[in-house]
Each structure stands twice: as C-alpha cells, then as structure tokens.
Amino acid sequence: MGMSFSTVEEKKQVRWFVMRAYKNEKMAEDRLKDKEYGLEYFIPKHYAVKTYHGVKSTRLVPVIPSLVFVHASHSQITEFKKRYNFLQFAMWKKSTGMEYITVPNDQMDSFIQIASLYEKDTAYYKPDEIDVRKGTRVCIHGGKLDGVKGVFMRVKGKRNRRVVVMLEGIMGISAEVHPDLDCKLFTGIFALCSLCEYRHSPDSANRFSQTAVRPSR
C-alpha cells in the first residue's frame, strides 16, 4: 500500500512502514532495540543452512536481505534516521510521485503471527508467485493460528490447503491449517470466517505484543 503524507496529523500516525537496512539487518536490530531511541520492528526470518568459515550450520536468517518493517509514525522514524541514517524508507514510484510503502495493521498482525512460529513448513512467496484470488478469505479460530486473517487455498507444491497472508507488492507467507481445525472451517465456522468480520481478542493482542519487537524502556 503506497501513501504520501502532507499534514502534521498524517506524519504523527503510527503505521507499519516497509524499510531497508542495506546489508545491515544486525545493526538495524541493535539500534531499533535501543532503550532510549528504539522503535518497534519486525524482520521476517527463517532457518536456513549457511556456511561460515567452511562449516555448515543451521541459523535463523532474514528471509529477504535488508528488509525491515518498522511500526512508528513518519515523524518518529525521521528523528530516528537523524542518528542512524542507514535505515531507508521503501518507496513506490506512482504517476502522482513517490509514495511510502506501508502495510495495514491487520495484515501485519497475521503475517507476524505466522512468521514468528519459525516452523519448517512455513513458506514465503514473492508477490507474483501466488494468486490469492483463487482462495477464500477466512479468519482462523483455534490452534496456533488463532486469529490469523488470510486466504484459505491450495498452494503449488503443498499437499494440504493452507492459509496465505499476502503483503501487497512485498511478500507473502503461508502455513498449513491443522486437519481438525480444517473440519471446523467447513462445518459452519468457515461461512462465518469468510465474512472477515474479525475482531482481535485480548489473547491475540497479547500474543502479537510478544512477537513484534519493542525496545525496552
């Protein structure tokens, strides 16, 4: 989602901004965790086999190098960048000019919830690798994915149907839905979920607050 900000009020509104820390994710994490100047952020990671000094090992690494999501206002990030200018806004070039890339809160909540499980079967996608129009919009109830809002569909290369969360123009993620929960979706709850009238429960809000990283104060 692209946005431009022309008023003071818009610049003070907290949003999920897509940003780049060019080959500097570790430094970005260290600075964003800063007790005094830090901001809430999320870096999608997965386990991958990497070779360091000739030795192979499985490590938690960024899915997309340099990609960082920051949850703050434009004004807060601008102040942060005065100290640490290696973090740059990701922009879209539109006919009306350059626009900041932001992600709606509900999409980011669901994306973070799946990504933070760090499960082997979790799959990531480029925007053009999956067509969510082929699925049905749902809100999951129960299990580890409780509260996730996405698209329930079949995905190439995967045996069972999955819930997919797409961040428009950026990336997507999918996770397998437990068979027991799958049955519940198809016996009536599915129809209710497909309306996407999802409201965050206190439990889902607490779970989200634990996965997105906020600097300690």
Determine contact, residues 45/118, Cβ cutoff 8 Å.
yes
- What are the structure tokens assigned to 93, written together? 């070039």
> Do residues 186 and 145 share a domain?
yes
Tell me which of 103, 134, 158 is where a domain ends. 103
Residue 217 covered by a domain: no
Cβ contact 165:112 at 8 Å: no
Please tell me what DSSP assigns to residue 213. B
pLDDT of residue 96: 78
pLDDT computed for residue 179 by the predictor: 67
Q: 């569909």: which residue's tokens?
A: 153
Same domain, 165 and 143: yes
Amino acid at 45: K
Residue 95 lies in a domain: yes
Amino acid 190: pLDDT: 38
Question: Given this model, what pLDDT does residue 114 score?
Answer: 97
Q: How many residues does the chain have?
A: 217
On whether residue 216 sits in a domain, the answer given is no
pLDDT in tens, the chain (217 residues): 666 666 788 888 999 999 999 877 888 899 999 888 889 999 999 999 988 888 999 999 999 999 999 999 999 999 999 988 889 999 988 877 889 999 999 999 999 999 999 998 899 999 999 999 888 888 888 888 988 999 999 888 888 889 999 999 999 999 998 766 643 443 333 333 333 333 333 333 333 333 456 554 4
Residue at 16 is within a domain: yes
**pLDDT confidence of residue 214:** 57
Q: Are residues 88 and 117 in the same domain?
A: no
Which of 103, 118, 139 represents a domain boundary (last residue)?
A: 103
Residue 34 lies in a domain: yes
Q: What is the pLDDT of residue 180?
A: 64
Whether the CA torsion 23, 173, 119, 114 is positive or negative: it is: positive
**123: in domain:** yes
pLDDT in the model for residue 3: 63
Both 53 and 130 in one domain: the answer is no
CB 113 within 8 A of CB 207: yes
Q: Give the model's pLDDT for residue 215.
A: 52
Does one domain contain both 113 and 94?
no
pLDDT at position 26 is 85
Structure tokens, 141: 């109830």
The amino acid present at 161, given as its one-letter code, is: R
- Residue 94 sits in the same domain as residue 112: no
Q: Are residues 91 and 19 in the same domain?
A: yes
| 202 alpha carbon, distance to own chain's centre | 20
| Domain around 73 | 2-103
User: Is 174 within a domain?
Assistant: yes
13 pairs with which residues across the strands? none
Q: Are residues 115 and 206 in the same domain?
A: yes
pTM for the model stands at 0.80
User: Which of 88, 103, 118 finishes a domain?
Assistant: 103
| Same domain as 98, residue 110 | no
Question: What pLDDT does 45 receive?
Answer: 94
Task: Indicate whether 42 and 110 sit together in one domain.
Answer: no
Number of domains in the chain: 2
